[in-house]
Each structure stands twice: as C-alpha cells, then as structure tokens.
Structure 1
Amino acid sequence: MYIVATFSYSSTLEIFLKEIEENGFTKQQILVIPLSEVKGSNSKLPNSPGVGFIDLAAVFGSIFMLLGTIYGLNLRLGPIAWGSFGLIFGILLGVFLVFIIKKMKTKKPHHTSKGEVVVMIHCSKDMLQIIEPILWNHDVLAVGKLNKS
C-alpha cells in the first residue's frame, strides 16, 4: 500500500519525516519529491479579460468626449471642438493610468510561496493506522491512498 501526501515546504515537513522514521519507517520506504513552480504561473493568459490599454483609454475617452460636448455648448469653440479635445485627453489619460498600474504591478515579487512537496510512503495496512494520525498532525495539504497488491 502507498500513501501519497502533499505538504507546503516548511519545518513541519522535516518534523513529520523525523517522526515517521522514529515510528519504524525506513528511508527506503519514504520518497520525497519537491515540486518546482511553473515559471510565469501568476501571469494572465494572453486572451483573458482584464484592464488593457485600449479598454481604459476608450472608457476615459468616451467620458471626456461627452463632458467636452456638453460643456462645449457654452464655450467659444463649440461642442465639436471641445468633444474632440475631451476625446484626446481621455485617451491619453487612460493610457497613462494603465501604464502606471502595470508598472506598479511589476515591482511586486512574483513568487511568495516556497513550493510544495509530495511524500510517498510504502507501508502495510497495519502501519496505516500509525501513519494517518501523524500526517494530520503535521499540516498536510492532501492525502491519497493506493492499494497495490
């Protein structure tokens, strides 16, 4: 029988491994596999929805064009000119804000977690009663059992 457990990489994993060795498990019965993180896993997919240069620029351009047209009725150059000025100003403001937002996001560290570790233990059904309480006392993330006859 095999028991497969996943842990976050921490000192509790080391304590768990030491404790199961003290309970009669040999190093030949224990397999520890550290998982590496996928490079760029925090980034969005290329076609995923989100705030882009065009999205925010179009929103701000529309808003300022509307305001320019409304208040341009009372100004000297008229609603068409002030609507055009508002459109240009809104587009530039939207692009500038997206540029600032993306620049701020790139300053944050991408990988904050230390990764995960998979532990495989080969044992008999009798030893299962010993290992299960030890697993749950040491912050295991998930546990699976495989009966291999």
Structure 2
Amino acid sequence: MQLFSTLENTIYLEMAISMLEKKGIKKENIYAVPLDNRKEERKLFDTLHRSDGTSLIDIGLALATAFSVVGASIGFELALGPIYWGLIGAFIGFVIGVIIRLFTERVIKKKKRLLKGKHSEVIVIIECEETQAELVENILWNHFAIGVAKVTSK
C-alpha cells in the first residue's frame, strides 16, 4: 500500500519521517519530493479556458446604472439632453467601477492571498504494509500533514 501526503517544509516533516523510521518503515520506502511553488503572480484577466471566479465588471455595471439614472435626470436641464447625459453617466460609472475593482484585486486581495492558508511544499510517498497504513496515516496527521491519500497496490 502507498500513502501520499503533502506537508509544509518544517521541522514537523523531519519529525514525521524519523517517527516512521522508528515504527519500522524502512528508509528506502519513504520518498520525499519538494514542490516548486508558483513564483509569478496570478493573471488578473480571465480567458476563454480559465476563470478564477471573480468579475471585474460587476461594480462597474452597478455604478453605470446608477450614474446613468442620475445623468438622465440632470440631463433634462443641460444642453445635450437626457439621453446623452445618461450615456455619459453610464460610461463614467462603469469606468469608476472597473477602477475600484482593479484596485481591490491588485492591492487589497493580493495582501490577503499572501497571508492566507498553508502551502504544500513537500510530497511524501510511503510504501508500507496494509497493517501499518493506519499507523502511518496517524503519524502524518499528528505531524500537521495538509492532506493524506491511500492507494492500495494490487
């Protein structure tokens, strides 16, 4: 049976490996692979094949609606008339909304992404008997594994 686990590269990883060796897992049956984490920034604009679930135009559309109503209302008393001022208001509201959303995605959410969560840094693959699988899994969880998976080999 094989167990796969992801862990952070901390002292707990070393402690887990040494605990596994003490419990009878041979060194040859423990394989640790460091991961290369993403270094470049995530793309802000979505493509046809990839989307991160955030929209850049949602605030822009809401502000465009509000500004077009205000622009059309005020446009009755201005020179160009309500239709032109409604369109001008919609354009200005849309641009302001997109700028607000770009600012929040670039500045505010970037800071949150950097602070949030644990990142897998090492994959540990352990080959063991099925009778040892529960023990190995408990050792990994007790040493702060991010995830553990079992695969039975037949």
Q: Shorter-chain TM-score: what band? A: 0.5 to 0.7
TM-score (norm 2): 0.66
Q: What SS does the aligned partner of 1:124 have? A: coil
- 8 Å CA contact 1:56–1:95 kept in 2: the answer is no
Q: Secondary structure at the match of 2:25?
A: coil
Runs of 5+ unmatched residues, structure 2: none
Percent sequence identity over aligned pairs:
24
What is the CA deviation profile of residues 56-93 of structure 1, one whole-angstrom value per residue up to 9, with x for unaligned ones? 545433432322333444x3x37x62442343134124
Give yes or no for the alignment of 1:142 onto 2:148: yes
Could you say if the C-alpha distance between residues 132 and 93 of structure 1 is closer, same or farther in structure 2, counting changes exceeding 3 Å?
closer
CA shift, 1:40, in A, is 5.1
Provide the residue aligned with 1:51 in structure 2: 56
- For residues 43 and 7 of structure 1, the distance between their equivalents in structure 2, rounded to whole angstroms, comes to 28
Letter in 1 for 2:66: I
Question: RMSD of the TM alignment (CA)?
Answer: 3.2
Count of matched residue positions in the alignment of Structure 1 and Structure 2: 143
**Structure 1 unaligned residues grouped into runs of 5+:** none
Higher radius of gyration, 1 or 2: 1
TM-score by length of 1: 0.68
